Structure 1
Amino acid sequence: MSRRAQQLKVAKQKEKEWLKAQRSRDRMGTQTSSYKRHITFEDSVVLLEAAARNDIAEVAKLLQKGVTPDATNMDGLTALHQCCIDDNAEMLNLLLDYGANVNAQDSERWTPLHAAATCGHLNLVKILIARGANLLAVNADGNMPYDICDDEEALDYIEAEMSKRGVTQELIDETRAATETQMLHDLQDIALQGGDLEIPDPQGATPLHIASANGYTRVVEFLLEHHTSTDAVDNDLWTPVHAAACWGHLEVLEMLAQSGADLNAKNKNDETPSDICEDPEIRERIEQLKTEQESKRLAEAQRKRVRRSQSNNTRAQSVRRTSLRDKGLTTKKDAVEEARFRLQAQEQPTRKPNLCDANRT
């Protein structure tokens, strides 16, 4: 099961616990809103809880009352997402019969088909596709349902349905690129408005995490140019390098390494990016990048030492040059004074003998 599927199950369990506590408080009469608002809120909560515990009768009763089948929890999960995780075909059909949005997206833009595909629930995959599920839906990580399906039968079925609909690799690439382009435009708008480019999502992932996980090189380049942190961690202590390594995006790894990202960072499970990378060639490249980073660090340290040494030598040479210049100036001054003295002595008139004096003598 994928990392996101595990997160969905954890989120679902937490939601069950929260819903149970909420109902207990409501039974005790701890209401803080009007009766009408309370009933609306309570019905939505009860629907999600009933779907989470696979209570078909309760869900049917609520839907018959007119409760929306598209109610969401704090993570954006609908009852349809939850029954796709639980492999509950009866619940799925019931919700769809009452108009549930087959392409509803949670906070990470996962559709029910993403959930069914990643869990390998072939029967649900068939139902969803027959009911109009978008085969090319792209989640926040840039993945379509077939990208995250490890079950061979389910994957074969999805790919066969894509082929029937004339889906080409060119169309897939265009659809995926459109998501990257939209993300880039959104971030450019945020930057122009002076906004924060590192705001995390509910799982703690920053835009750089998401771009790195999906191989969005243009987005990664933009974020690095704006000096976003290469070592930010999400709730599982994953850095963008972990994300790039896990999903095998070598070009992104190299970009992050060039920007000084920590290639030895450890996540909550004490794993480095190399530890979670399944591609042996990329693991080898990560080790090479570590060596390159260390060589670069040592070379920079050497350059700093040389610059300091040159700076000290320059200062010493400057002092010596000043001393020699002063000495030279002093010698020249003395020579000029002596020459002036000699010249003055030569210019004084020599007294000639007076003929009158000689006659007197």
Structure 2
Amino acid sequence: MIKGILIQRKSQEDASYAKQLKMEHADLVAEMQTVESLPTHERLQLARLRRAQQLKLSRQKDKEWAKLQRSKGNTASGGSGTGSGSLGNALMNGNGDTTHHFRHANGSGTLSGRRHISFENSVVLLEAASRNDMPEVAALLQHGITPDAANEDGLTAMHQACIDNNVEMLQLLLEYGANVDAQDSDKWTPLHAAATCGHLELVRILIRNGANLLAVNTDGNMPYDLCDDENTLDFIEGEMAQRGVTQELIDETRSSTERIMLRDLMELVRTGGDLEEPDYQCATPLHIAAANGYVRVVEFLLEQHVNVDAMDKDLWTPVHAAACWGHLEVLEMLAQCGADLNVRNKDDETPSDICEDPEIRERIEQLKTEQESKRLAEAQRRRVRRSQSNNTSPISATY
């Protein structure tokens, strides 16, 4: 099945390798349903095969680029000479800072300072790491670029090495002081990545270098929760046992993030802060608590009368978040406070549409019925009160 997903049929015998591998957006969308039905180990295998194809295509493009430059007779003087492809010509600027520049050679082959493109450290280092370019990564680290440079999602070169099962890259980054417990925006550490992919040797190296076995991501998962490979899981659990990790400690660690969030929000109230201040994705604390199933935090925020129908940049409300990640108790709390269960996100999906658990979907429909019955009952009570008020008005009382 995986090969059937990955390899596109040749339309012509002389079609190029790049054309064979190219997947348009529509193709990827059409494939999503099939991929979602695959078991975890097959998804990982598919990801690794795709990764190998991307690297092969990248190397081919690098060769074509180099050939083009040679044919033009253009060289970039002052480069380190390390690496390949466009990033191989990254230059340290004159004052020693770590911004890298690509300068265009003029007709005589000398550098022209008029046109240049600047790249941030994270772009340069991560691009080189994604191509598994050891010489270039080593050169960048030697020039003082931090091994912990991250992209907008918090992904570091350490994460990338663990995804790619690149032992040498991982060891190089650790030699230059890379943070073994670096977290991306979803609080995944390199150990989460290596455990998920079943890369036993990488797991050994990370743990030997002090990786946190009880690191918890935003879904509440520790590395061992995500590991499907039997040998890798046995090793992780063995290390946990040697360190005296008990179920009580595991449970306490899982709940620590919720406790910290609740403490911070209480302090925010004490100092007059905004409990609805959105993050860079316009998600409010209620979105985050609902997505993680933090019942105590949700309860606290509802007591503070925050907006239960706040929308993030994708028009998701906290109810969408709770439904997506299957937090029934949170859903019920939000519904009791009048959250709109029919609200649609930018993809025109209701909370019920994005919920994968059939039992929770059924409960959402029940909650909708309960909300409607409650609204009708309240409307009836208002009509009765208005009628009673009219019957006891001063004018009526004179007759």
TM-score (norm 1): 0.71
| 2:148 matches 1:88 | no
| 2:177 matches 1:99 | yes
- Contact 1:116–1:122 at 8 Å: present in 2 too? yes
CA distance, structure 2, for counterparts of residue 182 and residue 107 of structure 1: 17
- Contact 1:197–1:228 at 8 Å: present in 2 too? yes
Of 368, 383, 397 in structure 2, the residue corresponding to residue 290 of structure 1 is: 368
Supply the AA of the counterpart residue of 1:228: V
Deviation at 1:187, TM superposition (A): 0.7
Deviation at 1:90, TM superposition (A): 3.1
Cα pair distance change 1:320/1:240, threshold 3 Å: closer
Deviation at 1:104, TM superposition (A): 1.3
Partner of 2:395: 319
Of 265, 269, 285 in structure 2, the residue corresponding to residue 191 of structure 1 is: 269
Cα pair distance change 1:80/1:97, threshold 3 Å: same
Deviation at 1:189, TM superposition (A): 1.2
CA distance, structure 1, for counterparts of residue 278 and residue 381 of structure 2: 38
Cα pair distance change 1:34/1:221, threshold 3 Å: farther
Of 189, 194, 210 in structure 2, the residue corresponding to residue 132 of structure 1 is: 210
Deviation at 1:252, TM superposition (A): 1.0
Deviation at 1:256, TM superposition (A): 0.6
- Contact 2:121–2:149 at 8 Å: present in 1 too? no
The one-character-per-residue Cα deviations of 1:206-241 (angstroms, maximum 9, x if unpaired) are: 211221122211110111111222122333333212
- Contact 2:186–2:218 at 8 Å: present in 1 too? yes
- Contact 1:141–1:210 at 8 Å: present in 2 too? no
Unaligned runs of 5+ in 2: 1-34, 37-42, 44-53, 55-85, 101-118
The one-character-per-residue Cα deviations of 1:107-140 (angstroms, maximum 9, x if unpaired) are: 4433222333455555544443343221211234
The one-character-per-residue Cα deviations of 1:254-280 (angstroms, maximum 9, x if unpaired) are: 111101112222334433222333333
CA distance, structure 2, for counterparts of residue 312 and residue 225 of structure 1: 35
| 2:145 matches 1:71 | no
CA distance, structure 2, for counterparts of residue 167 and residue 91 of structure 1: 30
CA distance, structure 1, for counterparts of residue 131 and residue 313 of structure 2: 27
| 2:96 matches 1:36 | yes
Supply the AA of the counterpart residue of 2:313: N
CA distance, structure 2, for counterparts of residue 291 and residue 79 of structure 1: 50
Greater gyration radius:
1
- Contact 2:122–2:151 at 8 Å: present in 1 too? no
Does 163-172 or 293-302 show the bigger shift?
163-172
| 2:211 matches 1:151 | no
Does 216-225 or 74-83 show the bigger shift?
74-83
User: Which structure 2 residues correspond to residues 251-290 of structure 1 after superposition, within 5 A?
Assistant: 251-290=329-368
More strand by share: 2
What secondary structure does 2:286 align onto? helix
CA distance, structure 2, for counterparts of residue 34 and residue 229 of structure 1: 52
TM-score (norm 2): 0.65
Partner of 2:240: 162
Of 215, 228, 232 in structure 1, the residue corresponding to residue 306 of structure 2 is: 228
How many residue pairs align between the two structures? 300
What secondary structure does 2:125 align onto? helix
- Contact 2:287–2:317 at 8 Å: present in 1 too? yes
CA distance, structure 1, for counterparts of residue 197 and residue 347 of structure 2: 23
More helix by share: 1
The one-character-per-residue Cα deviations of 1:58-108 (angstroms, maximum 9, x if unpaired) are: 001222334321123334332112333444333223212322111012344
The one-character-per-residue Cα deviations of 1:315-358 (angstroms, maximum 9, x if unpaired) are: 2xx324324xxxxxxxxxxxxxxxxxxxxxxxxxxxxxxxxxxx
CA distance, structure 1, for counterparts of residue 385 and residue 302 of structure 2: 28
Of 290, 296, 299 in structure 2, the residue corresponding to residue 212 of structure 1 is: 290
Cα pair distance change 1:118/1:297, threshold 3 Å: farther
- Contact 1:103–1:111 at 8 Å: present in 2 too? yes
What secondary structure does 2:392 align onto? helix
Cα pair distance change 1:72/1:272, threshold 3 Å: same
CA distance, structure 2, for counterparts of residue 307 and residue 83 of structure 1: 68
- Contact 2:324–2:351 at 8 Å: present in 1 too? yes
- Contact 1:76–1:105 at 8 Å: present in 2 too? yes
Whose RCO is larger (CA < 8 A, sep 6+)?
1
- Contact 1:54–1:91 at 8 Å: present in 2 too? yes
Unaligned runs of 5+ in 1: 6-12, 14-23, 324-361
User: Which structure 2 residues correspond to residues 294-313 of structure 1 after superposition, within 5 A?
Assistant: 294-313=372-391
Cα pair distance change 1:34/1:238, threshold 3 Å: farther
Supply the AA of the counterpart residue of 2:395: V
Deviation at 1:307, TM superposition (A): 1.4
Q: Percent identity?
A: 74
CA distance, structure 1, for counterparts of residue 350 and residue 95 of structure 2: 53
- Contact 1:246–1:273 at 8 Å: present in 2 too? yes
CA distance, structure 1, for counterparts of residue 206 and residue 307 of structure 2: 40
